[in-house]
Amino acid sequence: MTCFMLSASAMTSRWLLNLGAMTDVGPGRTVVGRVVPVSVWPFAMFESRPLPVDRATAEHVAERTRGEDDLGWF
């Protein structure tokens, strides 16, 4: 099972492996979470359950983590 995410920091999108991390989050909701690599397609997933936040908070987090050292926050 996968989920499709849009990054507020880079205005990019990617597919993420969904092993239940998005269970309590409905379609179109804004979340903040750290993405880590995995060995199966789509080769990335949330490290832990992402936090539901409002769009302004997500944009603030994106602004603070923008750059080469974003530590995987998405």
pLDDT in tens, 30-70: 888 888 889 999 888 888 888 899 888 888 877 777 665 55
pLDDT at 8: 63
pLDDT at 68: 56
Angle at 44 between CA 38 and CA 48, to 5 degrees: 90
In a domain, 70, yes or no: no
Q: How many domains does the chain have?
A: 1
Q: What global pTM score does this model have?
A: 0.72
pLDDT at 19: 85
pLDDT at 20: 82
In a domain, 12, yes or no: yes
In a domain, 74, yes or no: no
In a domain, 26, yes or no: yes
Could you tell me where the DSSP H helices lie in 1-74? 55-65
In a domain, 45, yes or no: yes
**Which residues have CB under 8 Å from 63's CB, separation 6+?**
9
Angle at 47 between CA 44 and CA 48, to 5 degrees: 135
Query: What's the domain range around 11?
Result: 2-65
